Every structure is written in C-alpha cells, then in structure tokens.
Structure 1
Amino acid sequence: MSRAGRTKARAPLLAAIVLGLAFVLVVVLRTPWDVLPEPPGGGSPVDPTGGLAPEDVERAESLAAALRPASLISLALSLTASGVLALTPLGARLVQFVGRPFGGRRTAQVLLGTAALVVVGRLVTLPFSAYGEMIRHRFGLSTRSWGLWVRDVLVSTGISALLTAVAVMSFLWLIRRAPRTWWAWSAATAAAFVVVGSFLYPLVIEPAFNRFESLPAGQLRTDLLDLAEENGTPVEDVLVSDASRRTTALNAYVSGFGSTRRIVVYDTVIERLPDDQIESIVAHELGHVATDDVLTGTLMGAIGAAAGVSALCWVLGSSRMLRRAGVESPADPRVIPLVLFLAAVGTLLSTPAQNLVSRHVEARADVRALDLTADPDAFIGMQRSLAATNLSDPDPPAAWHWFFGSHPTVSQRVTMARDWQRLAGP
C-alpha cells in the first residue's frame, strides 16, 4: 500500500483518537467531581444499610442475588450470539436469506437483515427477561400482566429494529455515496442521530409505553410549579404517568425542552409519598435541568458516538476482518452483523465511564434538590422510600456498582444529605 493509501486508511483512526480526546476533555470539564465541600471535622459516617429497615435490606439483597447472575448470563449470551453471527459466515447468510424473497434486493437485505438480527438478539435473551419479570412479580415489584409484558417486548423490539435499520441503512448509503469520505459523514450522522433522538424521545418513545394526564389543580401542583419557577426552569405542565400498570416502583423525571418541558411523576409516587418527599424528588429532577445535564449528556453522547463510529469505520477497513465475516467490502449488506457486534462491544466497554459520570451528575442534582427545598429530612425520607419500594441494594458489591451503577447508593445519598445539613448549619 502506498504512503497516501496508508494515510487514508488511518484517517478514521486518527479522527477517533481526536474525538476521543475531545470527549475526555468534555467529561473532565463538565463532570461535577466535587459536589460538596467536606464539613468541618470530616464527613458523616456511612451507614451501609442507608437507614433502611432490616427486612427491606434483606429483600433488596435477595432480589439482587436472584437477578444479578441472570443479568450477567444474559449479557454474555447476547454478546456471544452477536459475535458468532459477526465473525462467522452465519450472519452474512442470514442477511442474504431474509432478502431472498424480495429478489435479494439491497434495500430488503439491509432493512430485513437488520430487523432479523435485532430479533435474534432479543430471542436469545428472552428467557432471562421472562425470568427477571417472574422474579419482579415474586417480590411485588412488577404489576404487569404477562399479556402486557409480551406487548412491551414486541413494541420495544419493533422500535429497536426500526431505529437500528434506519441507522444501518444511512451508514451503508453513505459508504456507496461517498466512497472516500464515508467514514467522516458516518461519524457526523451518528452525532446527529444522538442529538435528534434526545429531542424526539419524550415526544415519540415515552407515549408508546405510558399514558399521561395532567396533575389536577391543588396545593401539590402549585408547589411543584413554584419549585420549577424558583429553579429558573418553568415547565409547561405537571403530568402523572400510569406507571402502576407495570410496576410498584417510585420515580419522577423532567422531560422535553423549552415549550415541551414537563414534570412527569409516576402515579405510584402520588399514591405513596407525602407531598414534601414528592417535592424533594421533583427538585432533584429540576436540578438536572438547572445545570443543563441533558444538554451536556447529549453533547457527550454525540461526541462519543462520532468517536465510536470513526473507530468502527477504521476496523471495517481491515480486509482480514471483512473476510472473517464473509464480507467483500464495507458497503456489502452482509457487513451488518459485524457492525452491530462492534457497536455492542463499544457500548459495553464505555459503560463504566458513562456510569462514573452519571453518578457524579446525580450527586450534584441531589445537592440542588437540598438547596431548593432546604429540607434534608424530607430528602432522606424520600431516598429511603425509593430504596425500600424499588428494592435497591443499599450496599452493592463495589465492582458491580463501579460497572453498572448509574446512581449513588442510598447509603451514599443519605450520608451526603447529612453532610449538607452540617454545612448548612442550624
């Protein structure tokens, strides 16, 4: 290969490195590494139970013991199945097979091949999903009928297949349309998908699984709207989600941007928590808005996606890798299994870094909630109510929490609230 050819082949790798460094820079500058100064005399002692009742701790640990092995096996099987389809001719043959009834047309192979691969991946892990649902039923965490569970599986699989097919179709179209610069256009398109998806999710995906009604006029609605005004982020509405059709878990969130922003509260929260704890959980969600966490997360996601796709394009430039997958070129529809496998590996490898950032961002939102409400007792009560109802392990294994934990543990959150209280004084 000529020097110019080698430079061209390395361009996606160089772009991935530059974008990766940009991602690290954004993470370093935008992640709140220290959300509270240390109180005089040192931090409050950490209670590994988070102050939960012994029976609640026992149930949470029992649930985790039942689900964690199944989750790991499901993850391993999913990755193994994807790898087998990607690194042997099996995946390429599947893509060809599903397109054959349509004359083997390229579009049919891409759309139906992608959908088939998504469905196969779902079927591999379906027994473990069913097992998890059964365990959640046994512990009273899930209220879904099996009919509703099947409906949710079908809808989520259909949405995943559709979105993945659109992304893959765009990717392969760019390879054919811009054979020299396709990797750059693909990286830019991936970043654009992240940004557009962030805006469309509350408008398109949320309504596919839940129904929403405005919280009736009353003191709670007034207090929540006033809280949003005080936070400097007025909202369009306060909505109640019919989450109880599926779960007993407690949650709330703020979704949308600008004129579409709304507070969403699970109906289980309205039914079970006192108003001061509801205000505390909403204040936490408003804290994310005040510090532009969604926009920052979207920026990180866009840069990370562009870096990941650039690295993917570099790997696809390896003729050895393509031959192993039974593919002639990156533009060949039979490359789809390899693309999906590499994307899955990249996602898995980036999980600890994403969750590290997430835990610090969530801790900052906790501090914002305390600043807004000035009610640490309500905050602590809310965290314990959430942990007891959602059966959250207050003290999970360190390795598990490092890799999979997207939020601080209840023990950490209660300790932080005590530190905030000591700093705030009497």
Structure 2
Amino acid sequence: MRTTAWWVLAALVVAVGVILVFLVPWAATPPRSEQLAALGTLPADKVARAREFHTALRPGSYGALLLGLALSVVLGLTPLGARLLGLLPAHWLARGVLGGLVLVTLGQLLTLPVAAWQETILRRYGLSTRDWGSWALDVLKGYLLGALLTAVALAAFYALVRYAPRWWWAFGAAGAALVVVVLSFALPVLVEPVFNTFTPMQKSSLRDSLMALAERDGVPVRDVLVADASRRTRAVNAYVSGLGPTRRIVVYDTLLTEAPPEEVASVVAHELGHAKDNDVLLGTVVGALGAAAGVVGLYLLGGWTGLLRRAGVESVTEPRALALLFAVAAVVGLVSGPFQNLVSRQVEARADRHALALTGDPATFEAMQRRLALVNLGDPDPPVVEYLLFASHPSAVERMAVARTWKKRR
C-alpha cells in the first residue's frame, strides 16, 4: 500500500512540475537601469511615506507569522497538543471537528492583538476607512468562514479514515482535488458577497468600453460590477472573477473615483489577461494536484514513528494528532511560500504584457502603476529579501519598466 502511495505521490509531483515548466511564462525581469529610471519619476516624499508605512507594518507582519508558527510547532511537535485535544469528547467525529475549531480559534485569538495593532497603522496612514465595529465584523466573518471550511474538511477526512481505513488516502486525495476545483467556481459567487456588496455598473461609456475591451480580447464576461471597497479602504483595484458562467469584471468604487477611465481600462486589461491565458484554471489545476499530493504525503508521513512519538500520538489519523497535522501544514506553507510567490510574479508579469498588447498604451499603463503604488502605499522598490519571500506581484518599478521596455521595442 505504501509503495502504491509513493508512486502516486511521485506522479502528482511530476505532473505539477511539468505544468510549471511548460505553462508558467518564465521571463526575465526588465533591466535594473529601467527600474531605477522609473523609480526616479515617483515623488520622493511619497516613496518615503510608503516605506515608512511598510516599516511600521513589518513588526506586526513578522510577529503574526512567528506567533502562528510557534503555536503550531509547540502544540503539534510536542505531546501538549495531543493532551489538549484529548480533553474533548471521545467520539471520533466530535473530537476531530471540535479539535480543528479549537486550534483555529487559538490561532485567531493569538494573532488578534497584532491584527488590531496593524489596523491602527492602516488608519494612521489613511488606508483604512473602517470603524472598530466594521473591523470586528470583518474579522468575525473571516473566522467563521475559515471555521466552517475547516469543520467540513475534517468531518470528511475522519469519515474516510473510519469507513475506508486502507484506502482513505486515495479517496481523500481525489476529494481534496475536487474541493479545490469546486471552490474555484463557488468562491466568487458565495464568499465574495460576504465581505463586499456588488452592484452592476450603471450604463455609461466606461462600462461600454470595458465590455468592448473584453469582447475584443475574446474573453466572455457576464457583467461589470462595482464593489463597495470604500467602506473598508482607500486602496484601488479591479479584477476579473470567476470561471465560465460566473466570470465578471469587478471594479473597486475607489478606483472609479481615483483614476481616469483610460487607467481603469488598463487595470481591467491586465485582469483580462489572467482570464485570456486561463491563469485561474492553471492555479486551480496546480492547487488540485497539490492538495491531492498533500493528502498522499500525509498518509506517508504516518510511517514516521519518531515524529509520531514526539507528538505523543500513535497514528496521524487519530483526532488527537490534529495539532501535528496543523504544524506540518504550517511548516510546508512557510517553506513553499517563496516558490509560490515566484510563480505568481511570473503569471502577473505575463498579464502586464497582455495589457500592454491589448491597449497599445504603455504611457497609461505606467501612469496606472504609478497611481496604484502611490494610492495603495506600496513600496515601489521593496527590499530584496522581502521581495523574494513575500511578493506575489512584480514591484511597481518593475511594472513601470516593462511598459518602457515594451514601448522601446515597438
């Protein structure tokens, strides 16, 4: 059985590798000289303010990361977590589901003061428009959504373990992959409205131009919606959400007030690039294969007796081992994060090139990237280490340099 699992895991890893090698648009970053030239066009005082903002946020960001990791490691890699979960009802389903909720709640409570502190910084720099009641409601919504998904996943996992003790890993891998695919379709429709209100954009020349842009790009969209982001933030953004029949262009109301129509179209052209190149589908497939590999890896991890002994459990499938599973997931997420961000940056860079080709307007593209950086208080040229570890998008100066390079080549 374990030999079969190893072969399945190897096949999944190879499949992910092939997809990343041949479908991810690996390309070199624009010349550093162009990036520095772009940086020189930004107001020095606003660049300094953005860097002050990130310096103020940095202790909280690292602090929350370390606190969450420390909690996972302390509970999962010592018998403490097994003892804590052993206090819950002995029924396999109750202990499994309640144990997950306990761990999620502990993590939320531990990092809640850091989140509140960061909210004060967002207000000090004028990005957050929420009062404390709205902030608390958003935190509660996020917690309840995470708790619900955790509870459902754990109930399914322990049911498989109980009723298919030999093949739970195979059924679980297939189920995890299916869940990723379903959520890719369902999240835009079911989850996004929990945090924002979406209203159809009124008939206007801008709406017509955005729909025409999508039609010219060969990307069918259902509608153009406006999100009431201003109730939470002054940051600007837009995106294309959903797959197939659920796809729609979503524009922040803040973007409509901050940017002229041609810059709004430039942002939407970037987002259409993701749809045109099936980036959501690419992410869904990679995520599904990764989820399946994670379940198979979990099964194989169950043969590591030294790890089980350290956690004070006899099997990874017993509910008392849930803290160990959370710890493994935390460590894997931390280690794999930089590579995931590298892939994300390449995909985002391709969407930038798509926007330039679609609009043929590098000046507007550069102006929009300048506006995004200044209004959202993004560091236009972040420190190298933080960029490599945490940046999911190219830096603002990289994106501006891409526009300049694109213009020169044409």
TM-score range, shorter chain: over 0.9
Are residue 16 (structure 1) and residue 9 (structure 2) matched? yes
C-alpha distance 320-144 of structure 1, shift in aligned 2 (>3 A): same
1:346 counterpart SS class: helix
- Is 1:107 the equivalent of 2:93? yes
CA distance in 2, matches of 1:307, 1:395: 36
Aligned pairs for 1:45-124 (under 5 A) are: 45-47=34-36, 49=39, 51-97=41-87, 99-100=88-89, 104-124=90-110
Q: Residues 161-200 of structure 1 correspond to what in structure 2 (within 5 A)?
A: 161-200=147-186
Please report how far the alpha carbon of residue 199 of structure 1 lies from its aligned counterpart in structure 2 after TM superposition. 1.0
SS at match of 1:263: strand
TM-score for both structures, normalised by structure 2: 0.96
Q: For the Cα contact (< 8 Å) 1:308–1:346, is it kept in 2? A: no
Distance 1:56 1:189 in 2: 48
**Other-structure match for 1:3:** none
Task: Indicate the percent of aligned positions where both proteins have the same amino acid.
Answer: 49
1:15-61 CA-partner distances (Å, limit 9, x unpaired): 3333222211110111111389x8xxx88622262632111101111
Shift of 1:326: 2.3
Deviations 1:106-140 (A, max 9, x none): 22212211111101011111111111111111111
Deviation readout 1:66-120 (Å, 9 max, x if unpaired): 11222112111101101111122322233233x33xxx32222122111111010
Kept in 2: contact 1:277–1:379 (CA 8 A): yes
* CA distance in structure 1 between the aligned counterparts of 2:137 and 2:3, rounded to whole angstroms: 46
The partner residue of 1:245 within 231, 235, 239 is 231
Contact 1:57–1:393 (CA<8 Å) still a contact in 2? yes
1:156 is aligned, of 130, 133, 142, to 142
Offset at residue 154 of structure 1 (A):
1.0
Paired with 2:68 and 2:407, the residues of 1 have a C-alpha distance of 45
1:10: how far off?
A: 4.7
Q: 1:337 Cα deviation (Å)?
A: 1.0
How far apart, CA to CA, are the structure 2 residues paired with 1:249 and 1:306? 36
* Mean CA deviation greater in 206-215 or 173-182: 173-182
- Are the counterparts in 2 of residues 325 and 338 from structure 1 also a CA contact under 8 Å? yes
Report what 2:387 is aligned to: 401
The C-alpha deviation readout for 1:141-160, integer Å capped at 9, x for no partner, is 11111111111111111111
Q: Which runs of 5+ in 2 are unaligned?
A: none
Counterpart in the other structure of 1:258 = 244
Q: 1:418 aligns with which of 400, 404, 407?
A: 404
**Residue-by-residue CA offset, 1:218-245 (whole Å, 9 max, x unaligned):** 1000000000101101211100000001
Tell me how far 1:250 sits from its aligned partner.
Answer: 0.5
| 2:351 aligned with 1:365 | yes
Q: Which amino acid is the alignment partner of residue 34 of structure 1?
A: A
In the comparison of the two structures, how many residue pairs are matched?
409
Amino acid at match of 1:95: L
Q: Which residue of 2 aligns with 1:380?
A: 366
Following superposition, the deviation at residue 14 of structure 1 comes to 4.0
How far is the alpha carbon of 1:321 from its aligned partner?
Answer: 2.2
- 2: CA distance, partners of 1:195 / 1:379: 33
2:258 is matched with 272
For normalisation by structure 1, the TM-score amounts to: 0.92
Q: Which one-letter code corresponds to 1:28 in the other structure?
A: V
Residue aligned with 1:49, SS: helix
CA distance in 2, matches of 1:291, 1:382: 22
SS in 1 for 2:315: coil
Look up the match of 1:28. Answer: 21
2:68/2:111 contact within 8 Å kept: yes
Query: 2: distance between equivalents of 1:289 and 1:117?
Result: 36
Residue aligned with 2:25, SS: coil
Q: Give the counterpart of 1:321 among 302, 307, 316.
A: 307
Cα distance in 1 for partners of 2:297, 2:348 equals 30
How far apart in 1 are the matches of 2:157 and 2:325?
Answer: 10
Spell out, residue by residue over 1:334-364, the C-alpha distance to the aligned partner (whole angstroms, 9 max, x if none).
1111111111211111111111111111111
Cα distance, 1:11 vs structure 2: 4.1
Q: Residue 233 of structure 1 aligns with which residue?
A: 219
Aligned residue among 310, 314, 322 for 2:296: 310
Q: What is the distance in 2 between the residues matched to 1:188 and 1:289?
A: 26
Indicate if the aligned counterparts of 2:316 and 2:325 stay in contact, CA closer than 8 A.
no
Code of the aligned partner of 1:275: P
User: Which secondary structure does the structure 1 equivalent of 2:34 belong to?
Assistant: coil
Structure 2 SS opposite 1:330:
coil
Equivalents in 1 of 2:385, 2:13: separation in Å?
25
Matches of 1:192 and 1:252, distance apart in 2: 28
Distance of 2:61 and 2:133 partners within structure 1: 23
> Structure 1: which 5+ runs fail to align?
1-7
Q: Equivalent residue of 1:45, what SS?
A: helix
SS in 2 for 1:392: coil
CA RMSD of aligned residues (A): 1.7
